[in-house]
Amino acid sequence: MKFAILKFGGSNFKSVGDVQHVISILTSLKKSSQDMRYVVVVSALYGVTDKLVNALRNLRDIEINNFLDDLYKFHRNFLGNDDDKLRSIVFSIEGFLLGAQLIGRVPDFVYDTVVSHGERCSAYVLSEIFRKNGLDFSLMDPKDFIVTDGKFGGATIILERTEENILANVDKWISNDVIVPGFYGASPSGDITILGRGGSDYTATALGYCLRAEYVALFKDVPGFLTGDPRAVSCPSLVSTLSYDEADELSYFGAKVLHYNAVDPLRLRNIPLYICDVTNGFDLNRCTRIVPEKTKVDSCVKSISSSRDIAIVQFKGRNLGRVPGVLGEIARAVASAGINIKFVITSQTCISLIVSRKDGERVMKLAESLRLNEIEEVTFKHDKALIAVVGEGLLDHHGIASRIFKAVADGGINVEMISAGASEVSLYFIVPEEAEVEAVRRVHDEFWGGSQDGENDR
């Protein structure tokens, strides 16, 4: 049996009318490929995850029964009728909310259970809407088969354990098309753990790996990766093809169109990934295709992304570059605190760690406990932005770096740090936060000239 994984994001479900786009895509695909089993992964209906997060933030001020009743009515409006099972699903988190309200705090396991509740509700609602439109999908709960490492707030899927669980019940997947809530799995001890914001992408690609899918398609409200952020550049064009490495770099450093872990499962089995605008249907000529093969464009630059989610912690000392093991000691202390280092820049007198902004102060506090004689001073900067320029052959192509930095310099923007060579497909640099948009615009104009007819359209 052949499988295809289709993921539909929350922006595809802003209204009842939006669901018809999804139904049209599914109906068309099922007619054209009758030997294919489809696994549909869904996010929460538009805005529901934010409602749940806000409820947890303001738990002492809300009336829980009223909140859940409103949540039920919101989902019922999509369904078109009262439904006792839907009400039961919506109210199944009541005990978690009441318990957290009683103790005056939200434990991690409660947070992940509540925040992932939108996906459970939407999967039921959509399965019922599909059924009314002649599409029969079996509803499955990922806590029964997706196994994670148990890290609350941003878990990693254990692919081997998950695959074992699916194959142990493979008849359920073969006998009918399936709909699955995205965004969460369960730890080895059974606690629900979310996969980070946008984690439904990751759910879809993990299922693609486990079922050895022909392809994975992610349907969103954008047609895929663009040459630049539309908020920064006036005429970004669609990037038609990216390699796994290029997509990884873009998603890791700012491009929000794809979850940062989504490519990893597909890479292991060379499964293609398509990112499509739901209003275009499954049109391969109007989407981004992510594949194992490396493809180049004439300029080598395919896309530019940026992020303000960085903090720079600098460890300074006259002998840092001469004494072995200092960087290792710092990295071990940071890792033991569960903090991810985005990248490191070193010199003879300074070690610079780039981490998420929320982790910067935590690293500063850790530095106080290191007691390394070689460290004379530790500084912390958080008002910075990282710019990533991505493309196969970027570092092999003469003159590309000079064009990038001349474009930035011509805008009077100071480049404070540069990282090149760690990846063959990317170059990063850091600028003041207030210069982020202008830096992206200037680099984009250097390679695309503000035209929609960029080299990535070829």
Instruction: Tell me the C-alpha distance between 53 and 64, whole Å.
Output: 14
Closest CA to 123 of 75, 195, 180, 52: 180
What confidence tens digit (pLDDT) does each residue in 183-241 have?
A: 999 999 999 999 998 999 999 999 999 999 999 999 999 999 999 988 889 889 999 99
* Residue that wins the pLDDT comparison between 405 and 458: 405
**Whole-structure pTM value:** 0.91
Average pLDDT of the chain to the nearest whole number: 93
- Joined together, the tokens standing for residue 196 give 């980070």
- Joined together, the tokens standing for residue 398 give 């003469």
What confidence tens digit (pLDDT) does each residue in 297-327 have?
A: 777 899 999 999 999 999 999 888 788 888 9
What confidence tens digit (pLDDT) does each residue in 334-387 have?
A: 999 989 999 899 888 999 999 999 999 999 988 888 888 888 999 999 999 999
pLDDT at 458 over 60: no
What pLDDT, on a 0 to 100 scale, did the predictor assign at position 450?
Answer: 58
- Distances from the Cα of 127 to the Cα of 163, 275, 386, 457, angstroms: 24, 23, 41, 37
pLDDT at 290 over 90: yes
**Residue 346 known to bind ligand:** no
The residue ranges of every structural domain in the chain are 2-219, 305-449
What pLDDT, on a 0 to 100 scale, did the predictor assign at position 322?
Answer: 81
**Residue 150 known to bind ligand:** no
What pLDDT, on a 0 to 100 scale, did the predictor assign at position 156?
Answer: 97
**Residue 170 known to bind ligand:** no
Coil, strand or helix at 210: helix
**Residue 9 known to bind ligand:** yes
Calculate mean pLDDT across residues 161-172. Answer: 97
Closest CA to 389 of 431, 360, 352, 347: 431
Coil, strand or helix at 338: coil
* 111 neighbors 196 (Cβ within 8 angstroms): no
**Residue 438 known to bind ligand:** no
- Distances from the Cα of 291 to the Cα of 156, 227, 251, 455, angstroms: 22, 18, 15, 18
**Residue 49 known to bind ligand:** yes
Question: How many degrees, rounded to 5, is the angle at CA 40 between CA 169 and CA 148?
Answer: 60
Q: Which CATH architecture has domain 2-219?
A: 3-Layer(aba) Sandwich (3.40)
Question: How do 384-390 and 426-432 pair as beta strands?
Answer: antiparallel
pLDDT at 121 over 70: yes
**Residue 256 known to bind ligand:** yes
Calculate mean pLDDT across residues 76-100. Answer: 97
The phi and psi torsions of 260 (rounded to 5 degrees) equal: -65, -20
Stated as kind and residue range, the H or E segment containing 21 is helix 16-32
Instruction: Tell me the C-alpha distance between 352 and 429, whole Å.
Output: 13
Instruction: Tell me the C-alpha distance between 447 and 322, whole Å.
Output: 41
- CATH topology classification for 305-449: VC0802-like (3.30.2130)
Closest CA to 195 of 207, 177, 211, 212: 207
Percent of the chain, pLDDT > 90?
81
**Residue 2 known to bind ligand:** no
pLDDT at 454 over 60: no
**Residue 446 known to bind ligand:** no
